[in-house]
Structure 1
Amino acid sequence: MQLPNLLKTPSILQRLQWVADPIGYMEKAAQQYPDIFTTVLLSSQDPWVFVNHPQAIQEILINDRKKFAALSTKNKILQPLIGDYSVIMLDGDRHKRRRQMVMPSFHGDRMRSYGQIISKITEKVLSQLPTNQPFSARTVMQDISLQVILEAVFGLYQGERCQQLKHLMALMSDLFRSPLTSSFLFFPFLQQDLGAWSPWGKFVRDREQMDKLLYAEIAERREKPNSNGIDILSLLMSARDEEGEPMTDQELRDELMTLLFAGHETTATAMAWALYWTHHQPEVREKLLRELDTLGDNPDPMSIFRLPYLTAVCNETLRIYPVAMLTFARVVQEPVELLGYLLEPETTVVGCMYLVHQRKDLYPEPKQFKPERFLERQFSAYEFIPFGGGSRRCIGEALAQFEMKLVLAKILSGYDLALVDNQPEQPKRRGVTLAPANGVKMVITGRRARQESQLTMAST
């Protein structure tokens, strides 16, 4: 089978490069083959075709299940984290039905109730940080996003189970904090339980403790159902598929693990990057503050969400270093031509979000942080693609964007912060995502009073 632009480096070396330096790996390949290339990351018997041409990605995603199918077998890397029955791990009609059951939790009036939760938690966490003492923005954002998830997903505000879940989630997430420890996901032979003191053994035991907590929460909800609950678990437990069937305990557990991992880790990283860029480029922060100040004191969350420059800042943050680098893989179902290449059935194809966002024909000076580019033109869903696309587009996209905007607005409006040093923050692998290598070290220099808008000042 003739594959498009096959990279010649041996499979094991490609996988090592992919784990240790994913950006370097992708950019080097794209220099040779700008639109499409074939990797042997997993093995020479299972090549993956990387695509970063927007029209080709569109063809892949809109033809999902016809010419290209998303198969859960290609997502096995996530199985140790989220199990076998999450929406991510389902195929075909089962995936469609589950997605329809989960989606209502992230739309409509639910967002308004989550807005109050997000603002309250952000203020609580920031108010507890000492002035003029360095902290890791990535760690603080993870604390905020995890507490948001616990309240929005479980309705848990305090208590022993809430604290245990927070502690265990932090421990389990921390295993994959670096490229070295992320190797456990990419090299399954490393997933050896050699006892509680071994890295994987500790992860397995932490996961077992997490399962006990989740199943205990589910059991209590089964005994005392709350039809008026606005948290996501209540909604999932009351949801029914087309045949009137609810989710099993195992299915609920796997969906909860997906929401916990995907819902707080990725959002925390995006918010840390946003804090970095708005302080690395003071002119961006000042322009954003002028926009925020026009809303007055105690603005409505939806008014914040609709601010154009805040939206542009968040979009540019997600463009320059998208937290997820790739779309979910698709498998060719019938012979199909893509960018002039004939792809045979069983070929694995993946859209490369990072490389799309680095295309100079779409984003001139792509290494520069320029929010204005999102005010100057509209990008299609296949040119700006931080949440994936097609039937596998991120379910939590609306909540993630809402949280990112509200947290950034709350922090910048209420606090004066500064970066600890002016060294550029670089992205590195954290599990299957990109995160700031040094965690974005910052200090709070004081509280900030809202400035009167220029319009008000001019009228006095």
Structure 2
Amino acid sequence: MQLPNRLKTPSILQKLQWIIDPVKYMESAVQKYPDIFTGEVIGFGDTLVFINDPQAIKEILTNDKKKFVASSKENGILQPIVGDHSLMMLDGEYHKQRRQLLMPCFHGERMRAYGQLIIHLTENIFSPLPLNKPLSAHSAMQEISLQVILQAVFGFYEGERCQQLKYLIPNLVMELFRSPLISSFLFFRFLQQDLGSLTPWGKFLRLREQVDELLYAEIAERRQNLLPDRIDLLSLLMSAKDATAEGMTDPELRDELINLMVSGHETTATAIAWGLYWILKKPKVYERVLDELDSLGDSPDPMKIFQLPYLTAVCNETMRIYPIGIMTLPRVVQEPVEILGHQLEPGTKVIGCIYLAHQRPDLYPQPKEFKPERFLERQFSPYEFLPFGGGARGCIGQALATLEIKLVLATIISKYQMVLADQHPEKPKRRGVVVGPGNGVKIVITGQRIRQQSPTAMVTTPNLLV
């Protein structure tokens, strides 16, 4: 089969580079073939056609089940974590039904309830952090995002079982995501052997068993006392029935819970850490964000923070430079189709390359520069700016993630004075399926911040520290 713009690097070297440094892999390829190229990568069935032209991405994402279809088989690298029954691993009508069930939990009034919770959790986690000592912002963001998703999924962020999950979930994820070398266990099935508790895969399996024990205990407890007025995700899933009036089994519930916690934890924390890095790195951006936040007064409504235009632009620019997901989920060609002048035959696997679409100079002049203003000057289509993917497989938690990113950054920036501990540029590094800041964004908190008063207030309180 003739595929477009095949990279000439030997297959094994391509796969190794993809595991070690996916950003460099893509940037090298796009220098030779700007819009479309074929690579040999591991984790998605090897041969994959990368596309970053927005119009072509639109065609791929809006032709599900006609010219292209999304298949859960292409998500196999995460199966050891999320199981066989989660939304990520479902296809067809099962996927549609599960998605329809989950969508209301991430929209409307639920967002208002999450708003105050996010601010509260952020303050609780940041307030005890030491002053004048370097610390990892990424680690703090992981703690915040984990507590938020525990509240959304279970309706709690306190209690013994919650505390155990708060400890085990990050370890379960990070055991495979902490470095490109360890991440290779997700890509190479032959490495997935239990050779004892001291080996990476053996340790992962034992952590997974501990998490499963807690989840099944929570499910059993809920089944004995299912309260109809609870609106957390677990309660909603347990009360749901399919077309045959059957509810979800315990393994189905377990897999969905793991999927929600994993996908709503590391990804969001990474985006917030990148956002804080860019704000502290760019003094003018920092000042403008503070001015906009100060204009809302003390204790502003979370939804007013969410609607701030410049803060929104900063968050968008953060997710443009290093998007939460660097690619859409793969699609499989169903019938002969022409894309960008190339004929693709049935069975060809294509993928929308989010990272490269966000780096196109024809869309984003000086794409390596952090310029939030571009999102104030122009509205980008869902196929030019797509940090959460798109189509039928787009991120279901996009609304909650966006709210969390904005509110955590706003709370930290408005309440604390801080600087970057290391002025060297942060470089992207693979963390499982996410590209995160390699050094974790080291910061130093120098003290609490007092809100800048308006000119009128300054006249009446001239001695106020600002």
Deviations 1:329-359 (A, max 9, x none): 0000000111111100000000000000000
Q: Which residue of 2 aligns with 1:216?
A: 217
SS of corresponding position for 2:363: coil
Residue type of the partner of 1:42? I
Deviations 1:100-145 (A, max 9, x none): 1111110111111111211110000000101111110000000111
- Conserved in 1, the CA contact under 8 Å of 2:193 and 2:201? yes
Residue type of the partner of 2:95? H
Bigger drift between 372-381 and 88-97 goes to 88-97
Q: Which residue of 2 aligns with 1:393?
A: 394
| Equivalence map 1:309-388=2 (5 Å) | 309-388=310-389
- Conserved in 2, the CA contact under 8 Å of 1:69 and 1:331? yes
Residue type of the partner of 2:136? S
SS of corresponding position for 1:394: coil
Q: Which residue of 2 aligns with 1:293?
A: 294
Divergent runs of 4+, >6 A: none
| Equivalence map 1:46-445=2 (5 Å) | 46-175=46-175, 176-445=177-446
What is the alpha-carbon distance in structure 1 between the residues aligned to residue 68 and residue 459 of structure 2?
59
- Conserved in 2, the CA contact under 8 Å of 1:119 and 1:410? yes
TM-score by length of 1: 0.97
Q: Which residue of 2 aligns with 1:27?
A: 27
What is the alpha-carbon distance in structure 2 between the residues aligned to residue 248 and residue 84 of structure 1?
12
- After superposition, the Cα gap between the structure-2 partners of 1:110 and 1:45, relative to the gap in structure 1 and judged at 3 Å, is closer
What is the alpha-carbon distance in structure 2 between the residues aligned to residue 446 and residue 67 of structure 1?
57
What is the alpha-carbon distance in structure 2 between the residues aligned to residue 120 and residue 389 of structure 1?
31
Residue type of the partner of 1:4? P
- After superposition, the Cα gap between the structure-2 partners of 1:54 and 1:179, relative to the gap in structure 1 and judged at 3 Å, is same
- After superposition, the Cα gap between the structure-2 partners of 1:133 and 1:344, relative to the gap in structure 1 and judged at 3 Å, is same
Q: CA deviation at 1:239?
A: 2.6
- Conserved in 2, the CA contact under 8 Å of 1:97 and 1:242? no
Q: CA deviation at 1:41?
A: 1.4
Q: Which residue of 2 aligns with 1:18?
A: 18
Q: CA deviation at 1:275?
A: 0.6
> Pairwise CA RMSD of aligned residues?
1.5
Q: CA deviation at 1:251?
A: 1.4
Residue type of the partner of 1:123? E
Bigger drift between 139-148 and 37-46 goes to 37-46
- Conserved in 1, the CA contact under 8 Å of 2:44 and 2:330? no
Q: Which residue of 1 aligns with 2:464?
A: none
- After superposition, the Cα gap between the structure-2 partners of 1:230 and 1:43, relative to the gap in structure 1 and judged at 3 Å, is closer
Deviations 1:199-249 (A, max 9, x none): 100100100110111111111111111211132212222233344432221
SS of corresponding position for 2:429: strand
- Conserved in 2, the CA contact under 8 Å of 1:11 and 1:43? no
TM-score by length of 2: 0.96
The answer to whether the aligner puts 1:5 opposite 2:5 as a matched pair is yes
Where do 5+ consecutive residues of structure 2 fail to align?
462-466
Residue type of the partner of 2:162? C
- Conserved in 2, the CA contact under 8 Å of 1:50 and 1:351? yes
SS of corresponding position for 2:347: coil
Residue type of the partner of 2:53? H
Deviations 1:149-205 (A, max 9, x none): 111211122222111101111211222111111111111211111011111001001
Bigger drift between 39-48 and 433-442 goes to 39-48
- After superposition, the Cα gap between the structure-2 partners of 1:312 and 1:43, relative to the gap in structure 1 and judged at 3 Å, is closer
Residue type of the partner of 1:60? I
Residue type of the partner of 1:124? N
Q: CA deviation at 1:387?
A: 0.2
What is the alpha-carbon distance in structure 2 between the residues aligned to residue 235 and residue 414 of structure 1?
36
What is the alpha-carbon distance in structure 2 between the residues aligned to residue 65 and residue 377 of structure 1?
32
- Conserved in 2, the CA contact under 8 Å of 1:272 and 1:440? yes
What is the alpha-carbon distance in structure 2 between the residues aligned to residue 152 and residue 125 of structure 1?
18
Residue type of the partner of 1:294? S
What is the alpha-carbon distance in structure 1 between the residues aligned to residue 459 and residue 288 of structure 2?
18
- Conserved in 2, the CA contact under 8 Å of 1:357 and 1:363? yes
